[in-house]
Chains A and B, each alone.
Chain A
Amino acid sequence: MPAVKETVETVRQIDVDQYKYGFVTDIESELAPKGLNEDIVRYISAKKNEPAWLLEWRLEAFRRWLTMQEPTWARVHYPQIDFQDLHYYAAPKKTPGPKSLDEVDPELLRTYEKLGIPLREREILAGVEPQNRVAVDAVFDSVSVVTTFKEELAKAGVIFCAISEAVHTHPELVKQYLGTVVPTTDNFYATLNSAVFSDGSFVYIPPGVKCPMELSTYFRINEQKTGQFERTLIIADKGSYVSYLEGCTAPKRDEAQLHAAVVELIALDDAEIKYSTVQNWYPGDKDGKGGIYNFVTKRGDCRGARSKISWTQVETGSAITWKYPSCILRGEGSSGEFYSIAISNGMQQVDSGTKMIHLGKNTTSKILAKGIAAGRSDNTYRGQVTAHRKATGARNFTNCDSLLIGQQCGAHTIPYIESKNASAVFEHEATTSKIAEDQLFYCMQRGLDEEEAVALIVNGFVKEVLQQLPMEFAVEAQKLIAVSLEGSVG
């Protein structure tokens, strides 16, 4: 059979399920009753033993949410979500909050080991050079189960803990910054998150400190019929630096699950935040059944002069991705970067991109987005670049490339560019290409089989973005890309 035809056939047949993280941890959970109302919001807040101001903040968001409509502008299609048919809180019974490792249910530790995330510091220390160490905050359904290397980080003055913990240990910081980048009124899902957010990470880097190791959060959805609403808040004080990475997986389930996160980054004068995501939520099966609806709001505020925020994302999972990590370039001379690889296969739908909002003078931004569509998937880049009146000397460079594999997928590029300042310079480049049969034939003539050939060509295509990831994760991401595209050719 000619390869093209065969490719199409194979894609039709594949169980997209090369997904290797689809197991379920058998653990007893405490669940909030299904449904969403003020009592549930109070229930969550009470579970976390929150101060009154935070409960009030949540309730306000909830009341606001009741008046809002689900957005419909993205190029994604899915059945109506029944928000009353979800659990908004799920926690492993034996580990209801962040504890020391000895107190964590061994079943949970085994889960993270299976996912390749060792949590026992002693084991991590045994095999890893100090400069390559990574501190991990492990979030399981609605709670953070453990955060590693906290003490060592504390010596440098770095605060890295679950946000539910920070509310108690550093209320002044949380109160000062929470909701200042993504306000509770921002959008349907961000508002929902504000009402019911459960856990996530909190990071504070004091002035002048370069965080001594990579920080990372590993999100795992386990319970069924449960939404995950994590909230992450990272503050880099003047002249500090932090590199942060998040990873995510979920079991295979027949029903789609909702994940609506909010991430807020704040960089003060001369601070730099590098935020990387390797997103590998369960993508659903070959017919589009199940999978995670990944509807997240991520935004960074370059609040200080010469501050810098860079987003790097490798998106391979989720049935639907709706995600636009953005930068508000407020501080004079601040800069934002967005590097993205978004891969869709099977029936996945991706609508992702970024917003670069130039408010301050001489602000710069760079966007490099690579979309790869295979199978019957749809892959959209949506990006907005704006310069406001005072943004004299703003500059943006955007490059979006799409690569199509096979005949039944789609790639779309939707840029919005708006400048209210005549001195702003915005450049936009976009290409769409198809892996040429000739290129495949050439590689195969040298002895590579078709999958190896596709992987090689794709890796070449995404190379510039992969280079932005921290070393250890770049290797991981490269493997993930190969796995995501398994079965995309004959």
Chain B
Amino acid sequence: MLEIKNLHVEIDGKKILNGLNLTVKAGEVAAIMGPNGSGKSTLSYVIAGKEDYTVTEGEILLDGVNVLEMEPHERAHAGLFLAFQYPLEIPGVATMTFLKAALNAQAKSRGEDELSPGEFMKRVREAAGQLGINPDMLKRPLNVGFSGGEKKRMEILQMSLLAPKMAILDETDSGLDIDALRIVAEGVNAHRDPNHAFLVITHYQRLLDHIRPDTVHVMAKGQIVRTGGPEIALELEERGYAEYLGNAA
């Protein structure tokens, strides 16, 4: 599904990613753990196409196609989704309006008709209900005045409506209390199937108690330095990142 080869990335002349390699297979839930400053967020932004970063070397392939040549919205159309660590506020635009614009844009890219208003409402209500989102919130401008937890739920709502084949969750657990964490995790788990893949970026083990990853990668100094099963997460929880900070190139 997602294949990253020898990725080198700079921002303002400063090197952040140093020849990173990573593969996520269809149906897989992969986790990336790493200390602050290891380049986790940079990786998620570069995959989604944020413009501040310069890729100096390497490729990012989605189903064999290099996405580095695509605009952010084309990557979204290709099935990439990023749940933001800090979701943006869009004043004056009702959440419902935003959801509709996003769904319609993606339907259009696939050459499909827009959803009928009835069908759209039905899907949104259903998905919102599962995430414990009050329908009144959908009338409010997107993320304006929402709490940290509400914003994160809204990201998961968008994810479940857009049903991307490759979803990246960037520290979705930060700022969540334990109940919200569980609901968000359920939102992800509900979409696990052989056609969808997830890349869960996190600093802590606790999210992985609820979303059981198939694979855990440890990232440090702009590289994946270790890959293994869920047991790595527990080990990190106990021993911290110190050894990786010393060892990495």
Contact = CB atoms under 8 A, between A and B. Distances in A.
Given A2-B51, A449-B71, A450-B73, A442 B88 contact: yes
Interface residues of B, number: 31
Interface in B111-153: 141
A462 B93 CA distance: 10
A468 to B, nearest CB: 14
A185 to B, nearest CB: 42
Interface residues of A, number: 27
A437 B88 CA distance: 11
Interface in A429-478: 436-439, 441-450, 452-453, 456-457, 459-464
Contact of A460 (B75, B76, B91, B109): B91
A457 B72 CA distance: 17
A437 B51 CA distance: 9
Given A456-B90, A460-B91, A446 B102 contact: yes
B51 A442 contact: no
Contacts of A464: 92
Contacts of A437: 51-52
B156 interface: no
B47 to A, nearest CB: 10
A447 to B, nearest CB: 4
B228 interface: no
Contacts of B49: 441, 444-445
A56 to B, nearest CB: 52
Contacts of A450: 71, 73
A479 to B, nearest CB: 15
Contacts of B102: 443, 446-448
Interface in A1-44: 2-4
B38 interface: no
A464 B81 CA distance: 31
Contact of A459 (B73, B92, B105): B92
A439 B91 CA distance: 10
Nearest to B144: A460
Nearest to A460: B92
Given A442-B87, A449-B71, A456 B93 contact: yes
A477 B89 CA distance: 24
Nearest to A452: B105
Contact of B90 (A443, A444, A447, A462): A443
B88 A446 contact: no
A155 B55 CA distance: 73
Most buried by B among A3, A437, A446, A463: A446
A396 B76 CA distance: 46
Interface string B69-81: 0011101110001
Interface string B4-25: 0000000000000000000000
A445 B76 contact: yes
Contacts of A453: 73
B162 to A, nearest CB: 7
A157 to B, nearest CB: 41
A450 B74 CA distance: 11
B71 A460 contact: no
Given A4-B51, A437-B51, A452-B101, A444 B76 contact: yes
21 contacts: A436-B88, A439-B90, A441-B49, A441-B50, A441-B51, A442-B87, A444-B71, A445-B73, A445-B75, A446-B102, A447-B76, A447-B77, A447-B162, A448-B101, A448-B105, A452-B105, A456-B90, A456-B98, A457-B90, A460-B92, A461-B91
Interface of A: 2-4, 436-439, 441-450, 452-453, 456-457, 459-464
In the A-B complex, list the 9 residue pairs whose CB atoms are closest, starting with the nearest: A460-B92, A460-B93, A446-B102, A444-B72, A442-B88, A447-B105, A447-B76, A447-B106, A463-B92
Given A448-B73, A452-B105, 16 more contacts: A3-B51, A437-B52, A438-B88, A441-B49, A442-B88, A442-B90, A445-B72, A445-B75, A445-B84, A446-B162, A447-B76, A447-B102, A448-B105, A453-B73, A461-B92, A462-B92
